[in-house]
Amino acid sequence: MTSSSPVTTAHRAWIEAADCDLDDFRALVSTDVEPGDYPHASDVRAGVLIYSARTMANADRHALQTELIHALADGPGVVVVEGAFEHDVVDRASVAFTAIIESQRAGGVTAGDHFGKAGVNERVWNSAQKLALHAPEVFADYYANDALALACQAWLGPRYQVTSQINVVNPAGAAQVPHRDYHLGFVDVEQLAAYPAHMHRMSAVLTLQGAVAHCDMPVESGPTMLLPHSQKFAGGYVAFYRPDFIDYFAAHQVQVPLGKGDALLFNPALFHGAGANTSSDISRMANLLQISSPFGRAMESLDRTAMVRAVYPALLAMQVAGRSDRDIRNAVNATAEGYAFPTNLDRDQPIGGLTPPSQVDTVLAALASRLTPEALDIALVQQTTRRTP
């Protein structure tokens, strides 16, 4: 596998009209997936690579991550991990999310979403933080998931940042128009030309998009519409606004049914959109994941110190119960701030290393020393004080 630098003279400096040719796009997305290129995959369905969480758990980690990078960057751009989450883990999270939704309703909150007018469906913004504070044990168990962590680490490296939103789309919920995702997928088309071409390429490596199915999702319930290989189209952030590309997507998109606990993971530059829920009785519940590089800015702001305070006792309990160090690190990474910057280097100095400790480092050190929650809280306050301008 070969790749080019995001910044190189081999590419034009700006995205131009010639970069949005539908014939070029058609040729690109007509690429077939070669199963032999993905030896860890169990199947290819509608051009989407299917992996088994059980097989992933027994694979060589580095080799599998190398394969996932290839799949997301140069392959179809999307994978499904079957059985990524155990049903009991998903069910406990669903109960907690439902309680949060009911609390929102009782408080008169009607969160708008992309699938209908506010109040038609259910949306929980910032559901990662809300779950951590509402049910910290459930949160820790959910995000200890190693299949998810393996994929996130493959695409973004260590210390990625988790944000998520719960969406419940009821019968008759409308489909989305095709789009690319955050960052440049959220920039108005009139402004896109001002971003140089290397930023169009770079946007795709700052996040990983995903969804965890909290119920069975047959096609009639509206699982995500996908156009494999579209993430490789240079002018895609401009093109997805154009009617000819929208029409092409509508005619050629694919949908892969999901089972409860399956995870859909894809390159944020992939053309995609939620499908219409044409079922009569399925309320489609998914945890929509946006995993961010520590070097970028996540879409949602989270009070990660509050999350650490809530979740730390659950992490200690997992440690006492003999949960693996890897699972606990996965949960810590989904809870705490993983990057040491920005900080106040007058007070928060990198003593003994190139960077001061991040919040993740502080929590991992606390777990290693079996600090009490009260002792960790003192360390968190001191760290916050050092980082403050």
For a pLDDT cut of 70, what percent of the chain falls above it?
A: 95
pLDDT of 182 strictly over 70:
yes
Give the residue-averaged pLDDT of 143-166.
Answer: 98
For the segment 92-115, what is each residue's pLDDT rounded down to a tens digit? 999 999 999 999 988 887 665 554
- What pLDDT sits at residue 63? 99
Residue 17 has pLDDT above 60, yes or no: yes
Tell me: pLDDT of 2 over 50.
no
Compute the average pLDDT of residues 53-72: 99
Asked: is 17-292 a CATH 2.60.120.620 domain? The reply is yes
The better pLDDT of the pair 181, 112 is held by: 181
pLDDT in tens, 283-341: 999 999 999 999 999 999 999 999 999 999 999 999 999 999 999 999 999 999 999 99
What are the start-end ranges of the E strands in 127-206? 161-169
- Note the pLDDT tens digit of each residue in 330-358: 999 999 999 999 999 999 999 888 999 99
Domain residue spans of the chain? 17-292, 304-387
What is the predicted pLDDT for the residue at 3?
45
Is the confidence at residue 119, as pLDDT, over 80? no
HSE of 192, CA atoms in CB hemisphere, 13 A: 26
Tokens 């730390």 — which residue?
Answer: 312
Please give the full DSSP string across 206-274, using - where no structure is assigned.
SEEEEEEESS-B-GGG-PPEE-TTGGG-TTHHHHTTSHHHHHHHHHH-EE--B-TT-EEEE-TTS-EEP
Instruction: Output the average pLDDT for the chain.
Output: 95
pLDDT at 110: 67
At 118 the pLDDT is: 57
